[in-house]
Amino acid sequence: MKIEELSNKNRGDLLKRPVKNFEEVEQIVNTVFNELLLNGDAAIKKYTQLFDKIKLDDFLVSDDEISEAIKNTAVDLKNAIQLAKKNIEAFHTAQKTPKVSVETMKGVLCWQEKRPINSIGLYIPGGTAPLFSTVLMLAVPAKIAGCDEIILCTPPDKNGNIHPAILYTASLCGVTKIYKVGGIQAIGALTFGTAIIPKVSKIFGPGNQYVTVAKQMATKYGVAIDMPAGPSELLVMADSTANASYIASDLLSQVEHGTDSQVILIATSKEILQKTQLEIDKQLKNLSRKEIAANALKNSKLILVKNDIEALNFINQYAPEHFIICTENQDFFVDNIQNAGSVFIGNFTPESAGDYASGTNHTLPTNGYAKAYSGVNLDSFTKSITFQKITKEGLKNIGKSIEIMAEKEGLVAHKNAVSIRLKDIL
């Protein structure tokens, strides 16, 4: 990572994410989706054997497997998961909102109520880093929202098993059914439904580029998704008061996710950039996933800015998934940040806290989508329904306006629907 000074000339290059060519990925996703439509479960078996290198005849996780996983999950890990669950429950329960009711004029009552999405699908990556924490982030708010059916799909290992911590957490959080299915075939199954796996109304969860494209493809078939998502990213804003060791640890915590992750450090102090660079080199040597992290660091940047205003403008343009503020003037960034998935304030607020146990959700918009999308929250699992009830007096009060507007739009039947009632009232 080399230090670059922000200028109008290099701004565009510094704002770029790692470039991905999705054309080949889309072709593969289309092929799998089309075969799933034709062959259902047979296609799932085929692609599980092809992609996950395991032949399975039964994808549903049994009660016995869940019981065994609960036994095999260490007590200290169970306690940690339970603490995280408690905090996530507290934060997401607080997001409940009451019915909104307004009499817009005499005799015209309008209100809004929220209803849970009945069936949701959760995709939980497995592989080298089984993300049981994501089960918490998705299943806990789904349960609070009142979703009836919570279906979880996660890829099996080479022995056809699911990581015990995923099964333990899913059981703890009230997941309805768990399937040993990963990748494109899992998203396709949740999209179309098969004899084994039910179709859902909305799909949640992170994944690799194949899962990301598959989720986007699912929307073409009438299934909603949580948000467009991509590789994990983190931006840190620092000044001379920041701790280079802490910053380096946060940057490395994100690049160990995958080789396509990206981290950025912006600072008003060249010294803190230099110190952080040395700390990254030092800490990287001790990581178990150092090769992954080292490759991801090639996508990452150290940026020197003149002042906080220049930094803020860049950050809002970049719209990071995670944004850490390590400056003396914290309030300036807290008050003026417009585009970020989740914000972490101060030297003692590591991004890992949000990933696991502080209570906020770690399923967040990436690739600049924080300009328009929120991270997963309680509302992600509900939809808002509006209601209205109009009395005779109310229709007399608004009827003439409706008639005039409908007539001017050339929608005579709309006007008649009011006029025929007004005649009876008057």
Known catalytic residue: 407? no
Two tokens at 145? Answer: 């929202």
Residue 219 half-sphere exposure toward CB, CA atoms < 13 A: 11
With a CB cutoff of 8 Å and minimum separation 6, the contacts of 8 are: none
With a CB cutoff of 8 Å and minimum separation 6, the contacts of 234 are: 250, 251, 253, 254, 262, 263, 264, 320, 321, 322, 323, 324, 351
| Ramachandran assignment for 362, one of left (phi > 0), alpha (psi -120 to 50 degrees), beta (any other) | alpha
Find the distance separating the first CA and the last CA of the chain, reported in whole Å: 78
Instruction: Indicate which residue of 257, 322, 351, 362 is catalytic.
Output: 322
Known catalytic residue: 393? no
Question: CA-based angle 182:188:194, to the nearest 5?
Answer: 100
- Long-range pairs, 349-357, Cβ under 8 A, ≥24: 349/324, 350/246, 350/249, 350/250, 350/253, 351/234, 351/250, 351/253, 351/254, 351/322, 351/324, 352/250, 352/253, 354/322, 355/133, 355/253, 356/84, 356/133, 357/80, 357/83, 357/84, 357/87, 357/88
Two tokens at 53? Answer: 């290198």
DSSP state of 53: S
Q: Helix (H, G, I), strand (E, B), or coil: what is residue 97?
A: coil
Instruction: Indicate which residue of 321, 362, 407, 414 is catalytic.
Output: 321
Catalytic residue numbers, as ranges:
321-322
